[in-house]
Structure formats: structure tokens, C-alpha cells
Amino acid sequence: MRQPIKFNVNLISQFGKAIAAILVGSLLMNTAVMVIDFYLVGAPLRLSLETEMGAYALFSLLVYILWHKLKKAMLLACEKEIQCEKDRAVIESLQRITGLLAEHISVHNAQIVEWLEFKKQKGEQVSKRVEQASQKISIALCSLSEMAFVCPYTDNPSQYWSELEDAIKNNLEINEPVKESA
């Protein structure tokens, strides 16, 4: 995605060079005409020539200052765009990794749930500990997906993450061990 940035900078640079060339050409042409007129007419235009030259110098200084401000603004915009591209690449990579992990874990969790259902259908007693662990894995996968695919696009991700962390702790009851029923 760096190609559009270089294109924008080059385009503005070429545009700025064209404007500068037109400005310098106009100033030189006008100055040449004024100097020729000054030497042909003589003293009456002397004050006018000095005034116009001062105005041109002030105008040139203003164009120079504005050009440097534009250049700084473009560089800042490019830096921000590059940082956004880096952030987007990190988010997309983490989302791909999260998707792969979630797929891997959910396949194995599905096998556990399938085994639990098979045992229940046979009339055998299944371990509540395994059943609850499987449910907690499902909740954790849901939270992991939400963190990877929803959090980056919220208005205040840090607040959302802390709220999600609290919800995960409450839903998974991390501090309380699962008790085996008799």
C-alpha cells in the first residue's frame, strides 16, 4: 500500500515544481519588463519599481513558507498512513492466527462434546468436570473471536478490552475449580 503514498507525494511535488516554475517565470518576465520600462521612462517609476520588487519578495517568501508547510503536512499524512497500514497488517495477521487457533480448538472441543453425547446416549454417566470444561472452552473461543474481530473496530478499544476481560473472568469463573459431582 506504499505505492499510493509515493504517487501522492510525487504528484504534489510535481505540481509544486510547476507552480514554482510558473511563479519564477512570471516574476522574471515582469521584472524584466519593469526594468526595461524604468530605463526607458526614467525616474517616475523608481518608487513604483522598488515597491513592486518588495511586494514580489514578500509574495515569494509567503509562497516559500506555504510550500514548506504543505511539505510538512504531506510528510505527516504519509507517516500516519504508513502507521495505519502497519496497524491494519498487525490486526489482520492476528485475526488470521486467531481464526486458525479457534478452528483447531473448536475441532477438538467438538470431539469432546461428541464423546460426551455418545456416553450420554449409552446411558453412562459423564464427568461434569469435562462437560463444564468443554462449555468454558466454547465461551473462551467466543471471547477470543470477539477480541480479535470486534475490539479493533470499536471507538474505545482499551475500555472495550477491559470490559471484555471482566466478562471473561466472570463467565469462566477462573478462580473457582470445577467440582466433580458424585
pLDDT digits over 14-71, tens only? 667 777 777 777 778 777 777 777 777 665 455 566 677 777 777 778 778 877 888 8
Catalogue the long-range contacts made by 23-27 (C-beta closer than 8 Å, 24 or more residues apart): 23/60, 23/63, 27/56, 27/60
> What pLDDT shows up at residue 78?
84
pLDDT digits over 98-154, tens only? 889 889 999 999 999 999 999 999 988 888 888 888 888 888 888 788 878 887 787
The most distant pair of C-alpha atoms in the chain lies apart, rounded to whole Å, by 118
